[in-house]
Structure 1
Amino acid sequence: MTSFRFIHAADLHLDTPFSGMSGVPERLRQYLQGSTFSALGDLVDLAISEEVDFIVISGDIYDASDSSLRAQLRLREAWDKLGQHGIPVFLIHGNHDPLNSRRLRLAHPPHVTVFGAKMESAYASRRSDGQTVAVVSGISYPTAAVMENTSRQFHRDSDSKLYHIGLLHANVDGQEGHDAYSPCSLRDLANTGYDYWALGHIHKRQILSQSPWIIYPGNIQGRSLKETGPKGCYVVDVDEHGVTHPVFHELDYVRWNEIEISIEGLISEEDWKDAVEDKLQELRRSGTGRLQIVRMVFTGRGPLHKLLQSGRESGELLQELRRRENQRLEEKGTGIVDMGSIVWVAGFKVATGMDIDTALLLQEDSFLGELFRLVAKAEGEQELLGSIVDSAMTSLMDNSVLRGLLKEEGPQQRLDLLRRAQELASSLLVEEDPRGGVGQ
């Protein structure tokens, strides 16, 4: 086998509108809307600087089936630059940009291979000497919803000694919170005999297996607070023995994060404000050179719980923090160096609890004691957690919209709902308790 190098990327979602954010200044909104194109530009530059032999892209190149002309032109510009350096591209389309999309008008250049609605294969060569090094196979979505297990169309040629790469836009092993499009299992993929599965669809970066390699690279640019942390692609080296070594490279221009701040030990409103401002300064000093968009999550138990639950003070502080950051924006340019010092607070999330002795309460023979013990048990038992939440939500299941939203909730969201119910019950019962507290 001959050594070679390739890039695995997925879920470019070019021209994402970022329409869900409120209170965002126009300059920041424009930067957000250009971030997917900027990340694409860095993907191309990375391919050139790393001298890769080819690129594979596993679906959802565009964000919507009626992709904008701007997105198509920017993509063609990227293809042309790669073509100038002799770097081929192999790609598939996913649920956001299926083959029957109304606007897939611009033709791809010859060095870009687009796989069709049935499994197809192509050969990939090493750029330095033109030697064939891999078989690349893929299948695109003909329509927006593909419910069959398309991995069953892939079978390795038993006589071939070449490295086999499969491109698939799929939900492997039914990951919660994601549409079950092209559902398959790790076993399905392993049984094909392929060496590397270049997956797309799930935006969380994951290495599901190393034998064979089965990888979700995540998207190249986070698009909301559901897509936190570094985003990018994998540069994959395959040596002459077929040993595979993938290395993640960051490409994102905007970094989304949730930041926790505990209220334990905070006594006054001034303490709380200082803790928030200290955290912002810490983020600014340790920044990655990227625009940061954060949601602050207040956790822990303490006397400030009731204040934060009211929402008035937190709303006023949020407005003030945004005003200050807007001033910074007005003083800066629009380049990545200028935007790298900006930390925009998208919102506050209150996940605090009353200032009660939970250790004592867990031993108490009372309704609240039983509730806290049940929640503690549900935290470690997914089946119990699901049963409790489903039972509590039964009356809402007649509403199709709410039913759809609840189906999308993952284990963490279900646990959050249960904890909020626990705290609401605590607040109501403590207020009714003539002793003024529980477990005191």
Structure 2
Amino acid sequence: MIPFRFLHAADLHLDSRFSGLAHISPAIRSYLRESTFAALGRLVRVAIQENVDFIVISGDVYDVSDASLQGQLRFQEALKELGQHGIHVFLIHGNHDPLDGLRLTTEMPKHVTVFGGHKPDHSTAYRRKDGQEVAIVSGISYPTAKVTDNTALTFSRKPGSRLFHIAMLHGNVDGDLLHETYSPCSRRDLIERGFDYWALGHIHKRSILHEKPAIVYPGNIQGRSIKETGPKGCYVVDVDEAGSPTLQFHELDYVRWQVRELSIEGLSNEAEWIQQVEQVIDEIREELPELMSVVRFRLIGRGDVHKVLAEKGAAEDLLSELQRREAVRAERKDYEGLVWVEGFAVESGLSIDRERLLEEDSFLGEMLRLSVRTEHTTEALEELINSALKPMLENQELRKLLSDTSQEEKLSWLRSAAEQGITMLGEMEGTPEDEN
């Protein structure tokens, strides 16, 4: 087999609407909107610098089916630049940019292959320099926004070909609960189809589900909410003479989302807590000097500072001040190293003797035991939340909102409720203090 190199990306979501950011300045909002286009620019540069033979993009180039004119023009510009360097592009459409979506009716350039939505087509990729055949690429697009069939079962290896086989699929493998179950399938379904590399899209968390054959989610190229933390980018894949792929991840994002934990244990007053927050912000600037960062602080641990945070609104006051400072930086167009604090999740608590409370025969003790039992069982957590929110679930929009909520967020609700209960009931009953 002739060695070759390709780039695997997915979920570009160009011109995406960023969510979960309140009180954000116009300058920062504009920068966030531009970040998906900037990440696309980095993708093009990586492809050129790494001298890849072709690119596979596994769905959701755009964020909505009626993609913005700007998003379409910027993508066409990127394709043109890739074509000037002899890089072929294979493309499928996903649930956010299905084939029936409203877009410009322009003909794709010859170096771009867009797969249809009826059955996986086969296409032969050629090595850019010598023209020799190196791989068979197959793919299927979403004809409409909702594809609930297992389209993986429609893929088949090209009979008689010994070339490296790549399958492009936008779908949910093994039922990821954080994403819609579109084009659902199992790992076994993919393994049994006989392909060498499954170039997946739809799940925004980067993961290699299987090595031989390679079953790969590259994740999206730019995080867009606090649910999409960590580096975002693409894989450059080298296939050797034996047909074995080696993957190298390349970061493409311009805005990095992250969650940081801060413990209040050992802090004696509000000033020490503020100093600790500012210190972490400075650390983030030093770690990511070329990026804008969006961070949520999880305040954990137990201590006297909790009462200031929970009752006096210190977290909200500090948040407003920190956001004001960063807005001033943004007005100066100083986006590199900017750290926007998205919020504080107060999951801390008062100093208590937790073990004694768990054994105590009281309403507070029973409440805490229920919280512990529920926290360690997914089914129990779902049952408790659904029961507590039953009156609200009659509203369709609220039901949809709850279905989009992650397990981590639901656990955060549970812990916050438990701590509020301890704070309120403890003051009434006289909570046992931590003796340490």
Q: TM-score range with shorter-chain normalisation?
A: over 0.9
Task: Give the 3 Å change call, closer, same or farther, for CA 314–325 of structure 1 in structure 2.
Answer: same
Number of residue equivalences: 434
2:400 is the counterpart of 1:400: no
Q: Who is 1:354 aligned against? A: 350
1:415 equivalent in structure 2: 411
**Equivalent-residue separation in structure 1 for 2:406 and 2:26 (angstroms):** 33
Deviation at 1:205, TM superposition (A): 0.8
1:424 is aligned, of 420, 426, 436, to 420
C-alpha deviation, 1:311, in angstroms: 5.8
Map of 2:11 onto structure 1 = 11
Q: Displacement of 1:169 after TM fit?
A: 0.8
- Tell me the alpha carbon deviations over residues 332-383 of structure 1, each in whole angstroms, 9 at most, x when there is no partner: x4xxxx4222111122221112221213323334343343334334333323
Question: What residue identity is the alignment partner of 2:109?
Answer: P
Task: Say if 2:389 is the partner of 1:388.
Answer: no
Distance 1:288 1:226 in 2: 22
> Following TM superposition, by how much is the alpha carbon of 1:98 offset from its aligned partner in structure 2, in angstroms?
0.6
Preserved contact between residue 351 and residue 433 of structure 2 (Cα < 8 Å): no
Give the residue type in structure 2 aligned to 1:308: L
Q: Alignment identity in percent?
A: 54
Aligned equivalent of 2:209 = 208
Q: For 2:364, which of 356, 361, 368 is the aligned residue?
A: 368
The alignment's TM-score, normalised by the length of structure 1, stands at 0.94
Greater shift, 289-298 or 16-25, is seen at 16-25
Q: Distance in 2 between matches of 1:21 and 1:418?
A: 23
Is 2:339 aligned against 1:343?
yes
SS in 1 for 2:359: coil
Q: Give the Cα–Cα distance (whole angstroms) in 2 for the partners of residues 8 and 80 of structure 1.
A: 18
Q: Please tell me whether residue 309 in structure 1 is matched to residue 310 in structure 2.
A: yes
Moved more, 228-237 or 101-110: 101-110
Instruction: Please state whether the residue corresponding to 1:397 is helix, strand or coil.
Output: helix
- In structure 2, the gaps of 5 or more residues are none
Instruction: Give 2:151's aligned amino acid.
Output: T
Determine the C-alpha separation between the residues in 1 that align with 2:217 and 2:122: 20
Distance 2:375 2:64 in 1: 37
One-letter identity of the residue aligned with 1:398: E
**Which residue is 1:58 aligned to?**
58
Which residue does 2:134 correspond to in 1? 133
Change (3 A) 1:342 1:201: same
- Counterpart CA distance in 2 for 1:311 and 1:106 is 58
Q: Bigger CA drift: 267-276 or 80-89?
A: 267-276
Number of the residue aligned with 1:69: 69
Equivalent position of 1:151 in the other structure: 152
Q: Helix, strand or coil for the counterpart of 1:257?
A: strand
Contact 2:375–2:414 (CA under 8 A) maintained in structure 1: no
Deviation at 1:432, TM superposition (A): 1.5
Partners of 1:412 and 1:362 lie apart in 2 by 23
Distance in 2 (alpha carbons) for counterparts of 1:105 and 1:310: 57
Deviation digits for residues 87-119 of structure 1 (CA, Å, limit 9, x no counterpart): 000010111111001124232111000001122
- When normalised by structure 2's length, the TM-score is 0.94
Of residues 379-388 and 98-107 in structure 1, the stretch that sits farther from structure 2 once superposed is 379-388
Are the equivalent residues in 2 in contact too, given 1:364–1:439 (CA < 8 A)?
no
**Residue pair 2:351, 2:434 contacting (<8 A) in 1 also:** no
Matched with 1:112 is 112
Give the secondary-structure state (helix, strand or coil) at the position aligned to 1:226.
Answer: coil
- Report the CA distance shift for 1:418/1:316 in structure 2 as closer, same or farther (over 3 A): closer
Q: 1:37 & 1:64 partners in 2: Cα distance?
A: 15
Alignment CA distance shift 1:401-1:27 (3 Å): closer
Verify the 8 A CA contact 2:234 2:249 in the aligned structure 1.
Answer: yes
In structure 2, distance between residues paired with 1:29 and 1:143: 31
Query: Over aligned residue pairs, what C-alpha RMSD do you find?
Result: 1.8
- Counterpart Cα distance in 2 of 1:419 and 1:206: 29
Residue 325 of structure 1: how far off its partner (Å): 1.9
Secondary structure of the equivalent of 2:380?
A: helix
C-alpha change, 1:315 and 1:99, in structure 2 (3 Å) is same
Structure 2 equivalent of residue 189 of structure 1? 190
Partner of 1:41: 41
C-alpha separation in 2, matches of 1:415 and 1:210: 32
